[in-house]
Chains A and B, each alone.
Chain A
Amino acid sequence: DQQVKQNSPSLSVQEGRISILNCDYTNSMFDYFLWYKKYPAEGPTFLISISSIKDKNEDGRFTVFLNKSAKHLSLHIVPSQPGDSAVYFCAASGSGSARQLTFGSGTQLTVLP
């Protein structure tokens, strides 16, 4: 049951360039989407989110784009820095009271100096 999919297990980018991480979902009941970053031996850390009523949300170097018709979201990091190297998880939730998250399988981003 892969309701949230991250098809790229890894991505390498040169420092200063743009990193683009992609995520697809299948459940049309999802209305809130989040990106988490995870370092080894730590829990997921919230990065940025977007509600389904928007198509873009920006926070500093991080921008999330949502294309509801394609059921696709992406995270752009500009400029990429070596400290951004981590596993990035896309997650989605629906409107139920618990609002539990369904996670993608993650993308390992490596930013090369």
Chain B
Amino acid sequence: EPEVTQTPSHQVTQMGQEVILRCVPISNHLYFYWYRQILGQKVEFLVSFYNNEISEKSEIFDDQFSVERPDGSNFTLKIRSTKLEDSAMYFCASRVDSPLHFGNGTRLTVT
């Protein structure tokens, strides 16, 4: 069965550094998402992407965050200058209709 794949599985970075989290959505899917889950908290919506542009974003998705689909297969989340509070599991998801299919996540640790 096709899967959403995310790399790396774990990323450690220093505060203030830029990170790029990578995702390969399921190939025929059209809608792409990033969610995050801070340890012990809910899974939270960050951003949705359709037709090469952001369709919705949450308050969490501020100017430090950006998304890109550079080559028609990868979907990336960039955090420009990481903060300690950005430490979380980041989940990529995609769909063609419903339901949403999630990847296994990237654990981001900011030290």
Interface status of A70 (Cβ within 8 A of chain B): no
B50 touching A98, Cβ below 8 Å: yes
- Which residues in B have their C-beta under 8 angstroms from that of A104? 42
Which range holds the interface residue count of chain B? Answer: 20 to 34
Q: In the complex, which of the residues B33, B44, B98 contacts A49, with contact meaning CB atoms closer than 8 Å?
A: B98
Which range holds the interface residue count of chain A? Answer: 20 to 34
CA–CA, A36 and B100, complex, Å: 10
Q: In the complex, which of the residues A43, A97, A102, A105 contacts B91, with contact meaning CB atoms closer than 8 Å?
A: A43
- Which residues in A have their C-beta under 8 angstroms from that of B45? 100-102
B104 touching A41, Cβ below 8 Å: yes
- Name the distance in Å between A32's Cβ and chain B's nearest Cβ: 7
Measured CB to CB, the nearest residue on chain A to B49 is A98
Sort A-B residue pairs by CB-CB distance and give the 4 closest, nearest first: A43-B102, A98-B56, A98-B48, A103-B43
